[in-house]
């Protein structure tokens, strides 16, 4: 994933998080919840995109590591 895709993913996740948290906008900890939910949504999107990008479309290839743990080829 290049930097432009990363920025788009984060901005879209932020927009969705703002829609989800709209009823709690006036609370004191709204900003922290927004940052946390944005990070969680971006992580879920990336984990969901990884199998498609590596196996189906071959957008990128990961080298094997010594750990042996991988998520559809990603260390």
How far is Cα 66 from Cα 49, in angstroms, rounded to an integer?
A: 24
- pLDDT attached to residue 73: 67
User: Across-strand partners of 30?
Assistant: none
In the prediction, which pLDDT does 37 show?
Answer: 97
Bridge partner list, 71: 74
pLDDT value of position 1:
59
Cα–Cα distance for residue pair 38/20, rounded to 1 Å: 10
Task: Return the structure tokens found at 40.
Answer: 């969680």
Q: Report pLDDT digits (tens) over 6-64.
A: 888 899 999 999 999 999 999 999 999 999 999 999 999 988 888 787 777 777 777 77
For position 66, what pLDDT does the model report? 77
C-beta separation of 10 from 38 below 8 A: yes
């Amino acid at each position: 994933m290049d930097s432009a895709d990363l920025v788009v993913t984060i901005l879209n996740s932020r927009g969705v998080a703002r829609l989800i948290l709209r009823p709690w906008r006036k609370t004191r900890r709204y900003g922290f919840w927004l940052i946390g939910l944005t990070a969680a949504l971006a992580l879920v999107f990336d984990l969901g995109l990884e199998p498609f990008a590596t196996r189906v479309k071959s957008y990128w290839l990961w080298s094997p590591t010594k750990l042996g743990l991988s998520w559809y080829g990603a260390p």
